[in-house]
Amino acid sequence: MSSSESSSHRRVSLLTLGCARNEVDSEELAGRLVEGGWELSDDPSDSDVVVVNTCGFVEQAKKDSVDTLLAAADTGAKVVAVGCMAERYGRELAENLPEADAVLGFDHYPNLAERLADVAQGRTVESHTPTDRRTLLPITPVERQAAATDVTVPGHAGWGPRVLRSRLDDSPVAPLKIASGCDRRCSFCAIPSFRGSFVSRHPDELVAEAEWLAAHGARELFLVSENSTSYGKDLGRDFGGTRALEQLLPRLAAVDGIDRVRVSYLQPAETRPDLVKVIATTPGVADYFDLSFQHSSEAVLRRMRRFGSTESFLALIEQIRSYAPEAGIRTNVIVGFPGETEEDVAELERFLTEARLDAVGVFGYSDEDGTEAETFDGKLDSSEIAERVGRVSELVEELTSQRAEDRVGSVVDVLVESVDEEIVGRAAHQAPEVDGECVVLGDAECKVGEFVRCEVVDSAGVDLIVRPINPAPGDPDPET
């Protein structure tokens, strides 16, 4: 029986947890399921199967994934776990969570429509057996492109006359996955073991998908990966090699219908001067830098298996602002890492104070299964970690509020995303969900997906209060 016959009149809901990379994976899965004869539903209680795309990054994400799986089971539908947590734990998750009717890994994705048909009809589907996905591709990056055709890499479904993807919302912002996996060996991170080695997507494939997204309502592209600064290192010199991202960005910005392209997940040690210049000065590319600093104490960074220091990070920020003084810069930091001293925390606080960042995520260290840091000595008590998280978070709140207040009087182009009780959108320095928003004052008749040129008149924390203005003669149209 074909997948379309076995899934005829079947309805499926997809619930996505975690990052924007997972959102892309869910839309690829949606495309595969529609192709396989399934009907997408927004209502889990009215579905035959609920697919939960789990997150397995940190302990809280795992808990949220389990809670979502349990809630899905309460609807009476069959429940299937996919995504990072399912890939990472597989059989172990299935044994400990009988509410899930199947736990499927990335290798199940190409035939997901058939596997869901099996689940819907009560047939047993063998649970995923985890493996270190770094072992599936050659160690040498330039040898991976040919080998990757035999390995399932979520978000790399191929391209041609059509894009294998179905949008799951009508947002004017769409994530576009430019690569998957990571070759770095940060001592606290397990992602490479279950996401695999770094693999870039072909630039022509990305342009084709960008055109498809523009035709399906996207005005801003949010480029995602585990490490965007590595894009192209496995593509070879014909496609720019390690300079491939600098060549890709103008092509994406030139796609008809796309007005803003935003890059995420930049590694500071790999953020080259040429890349800084392209992001900061290319029309249509947001002057926005999502830099994964993680800490600034050299001693802590060495234990994290990372590179940098307060001074080198400040020099990078100075370089960015020499091109674009109002550029948005955000980061995440981990406090309470094994062996972290009060002097290390003070160094991090010095960096944050001098850097004047727009947004900072503060996370307390916790052991992750299978990571090098899990074996380190010098672990801090949970109470000490919580105290440091609170202290640094309080400083960050004050500093980012000041940074937002400094923007009062400036002019920003706001992409409108909601016009319900109030008009809400985002400026170039604000990424979706994590960096605050702009609240548009006045009675302007704005539509979702429009760009509105505004003056910043006030701030509230990291959020800006803005008022529409008429472009002055000679000013560029914010939609061009």
Tell me how far apart the 2 most distant CA atoms of the chain are, in Å. 67
Give the 3-state secondary structure of residue 288: strand
Handedness of CA 153, 159, 162, 163 (dihedral sign): positive
- Counting DSSP H helices and E strands in the chain, the numbers are 15, 18
CA dihedral 358, 359, 364, 365 (to 10 degrees): -80
Measured distance CA(228)–CA(431) in Å, rounded:
15
Q: Please measure the distance between the N-terminal and C-terminal CA atoms of the chain and give it in whole angstroms.
A: 51
Is 182 annotated as belonging to a binding site? Answer: yes
Instruction: Name all contacts of 119-123 with Cβ < 8 Å and 24+ positions apart.
Output: 119/49, 119/78, 119/80, 120/7, 120/10, 120/48, 120/49, 120/78, 121/6
Is 438 annotated as belonging to a binding site? Answer: no
**Given the structure tokens 């429940």, which residue do they identify?**
79
> What's CA 290's distance to the chain center, in Å?
10
Measured distance CA(329)–CA(321) in Å, rounded:
10
- How many other CB atoms sit within 10 Å of the CB of residue 377? 6
Is 189 annotated as belonging to a binding site? Answer: yes
Is 446 annotated as belonging to a binding site? Answer: no
What's the angle, vertex CA 466, arms to CA 463 and CA 469, rounded to 5?
Answer: 160
CA dihedral 227, 233, 238, 243 (to 10 degrees): 60
Residues 6+ apart with CB under 8 A from 398: none
- Contact yes or no for 468/443 (Cβ under 8 A): no
Measured distance CA(115)–CA(411) in Å, rounded:
52
Is 454 annotated as belonging to a binding site? Answer: no
Binding residues for [4Fe-4S] cluster: 19, 55, 84, 182, 186, 189
Binding residues: 19, 55, 84, 182, 186, 189
